[in-house]
Amino acid sequence: MKKAFFVWIFAFLCVGPVLAESETSAAKKLAVERLMEVSNTSHKMRQFIPVMFHRLMNQSTMSSFSKGGISKDEFADLLSQLLLARLEGPNGLIAQTCMLYEKYYSLEEIEELTKFYGSPVGKKVLAVAETMLVDPARLPELLASGFAPDEVQAFAQFLGSPLGTKTLSVAGKMSVEQAELGKQIALELMPELLIRMLAMMKEKGVSPPDSGVVLIDNPPKKYPLMSLRLGEEGAVVLRLVVTAKGTVGFAAVKTSSGFSRLDQAAKSAAENLRFLPAIEKGKPIEKSVEMKFIFKREEIQDKPTGQNPKS
């Protein structure tokens, strides 16, 4: 009986907090979903993304699209279609945005945000924010003409509250994480974008030229800690097989640095590289390239992973 009592106490102390945390997480998840619903996030994203891409392309001086028979508007439409397809789902933009709110806000704060954005003043704030993203120069005009004096006061009170202060303070952090998320999604979409562009060029009767692989994401490498302590430096040349999807399917050491740890670090770094695949006869193909990885202690985490690849 005594043993069973202690087992029960142990289970309560260990499992109880886990169950409570699980219940809190579930409640917070539901609260964030409610916040997204009240703020109409999905609809606003679907409206904003095409406008954003068309605006960016119209401001761009890039002229390479016309050589392939693709206009800037067509390219913007293509980008929008691919990104809009990634809004929903467990790894979509909306789900990732929800995770950021769960990360930075407590359950009570999320519920308070939902209450504010569901109010008449909160809805106006959301409308102004949406327009400001498209045309930032109109912000003073929108604030002057769109808000009554009592609404301006209510908004000022919100901004001066602990929650308003926190919202302003974490906005930058959330923007950085959202930008990184956008980058990762863009890299994932790049092969599909390339395939669709090639198909579009074919429909227009344009034959795309053959091309080699192009490095598009080259994150910093990790220098082995033991190599740092032992003063190991050197250059590694790898033979990489770049797949038709732009990922590294295989990596082998062609020229060793003389240190096995550095050779392995180069191979590990190669796994994170992303390329535009080689094009042959209008289709992405698998291709082998060589790439040099240089390890110098004074360049730790400050330089790209490797030099541009050579076929």
Which range among 13-27, 119-133, 268-282 shows the weakest confidence by mean pLDDT? 13-27
pLDDT digits (tens, 9 = 90+) for 193-242: 888 888 888 888 888 888 888 888 888 888 999 999 999 999 999 999 99
Range of the domain at 29: 2-203
Instruction: Please check whether residues 234 and 169 belong to one and the same domain.
Output: no
Domain boundary among 178, 203, 228: 203
Domain boundary among 181, 203, 225: 203
Instruction: Please check whether residues 119 and 267 belong to one and the same domain.
Output: no
The total domain count for the chain is: 2
Q: Are 101 and 112 spatial neighbours (Cβ–Cβ below 8 Å)?
A: no
Q: What pLDDT is stored for residue 1 in this prediction? A: 46
Can you tell me the distance from the alpha carbon of 2 to that of 221, in angstroms, rounded to the nearest whole number? Answer: 56
Can you tell me the distance from the alpha carbon of 225 to that of 3, in angstroms, rounded to the nearest whole number? Answer: 47
Instruction: Please check whether residues 178 and 232 belong to one and the same domain.
Output: no
Q: How confident is the model at residue 15 (pLDDT cuts 50, 70, 90)?
A: very low
Residue 135 has pLDDT above 70, yes or no: no
Global confidence as pTM: 0.65
Instruction: Please check whether residues 221 and 198 belong to one and the same domain.
Output: no
Q: Are 242 and 285 spatial neighbours (Cβ–Cβ below 8 Å)?
A: no
Residue 7 has pLDDT above 60, yes or no: no
Whole-number average pLDDT of the chain:
81
Q: What pLDDT is stored for residue 286 in this prediction? A: 94
Q: What pLDDT is stored for residue 308 in this prediction? A: 63
Can you tell me the distance from the alpha carbon of 48 to that of 85, in angstroms, rounded to the nearest whole number? Answer: 14
pLDDT digits (tens, 9 = 90+) for 283-310: 899 999 999 999 988 766 444 455 566 6
Residue 107 has pLDDT above 90, yes or no: yes
Q: What pLDDT is stored for residue 40 in this prediction? A: 87
Instruction: Please check whether residues 114 and 221 belong to one and the same domain.
Output: no
Of all residues in the chain, the percent with pLDDT exceeding 70 is: 82
Domain boundary among 184, 203, 222: 203
Q: In CATH, what number is assigned to the domain containing residue 247? A: 3.30.2420.10
Looking at the domain assignment, is residue 67 inside a domain?
A: yes
Residue in this structure with the two tokens 């390890």, named with its chain if needed: 295
Which range among 87-91, 132-136, 140-144, 275-279 shows the weakest confidence by mean pLDDT? 132-136
DSSP string, the chain: -HHHHHHHHHHHHHHHHHHHHHHHHHHHHHHHHHHHHHTTHHHHHHHHHHHHHHHHHHH----HHHHTT--HHHHHHHHHHHHHTTSSSTTSHHHHHHHHHHHHS-HHHHHHHHHHHTSHHHHHHHHHHHHHHH-GGGHHHHHHHH--HHHHHHHHHHHHSHHHHHHHHHHHHHHHHHHHHHHHHHHHHHHHHHHHHHHHHHHTT--PPPB--EEEE-PPPPPPHHHHHHT--EEEEEEEEE-TTSSEEEEEEEE--S-HHHHHHHHHHHTT-EEEPEEETTEEE-EEEEEEEEE-GGGTTTS-SSPPPB-
What values do phi and psi take at 249, rounded to 5? -85, -25
Of all residues in the chain, the percent with pLDDT exceeding 90 is: 31
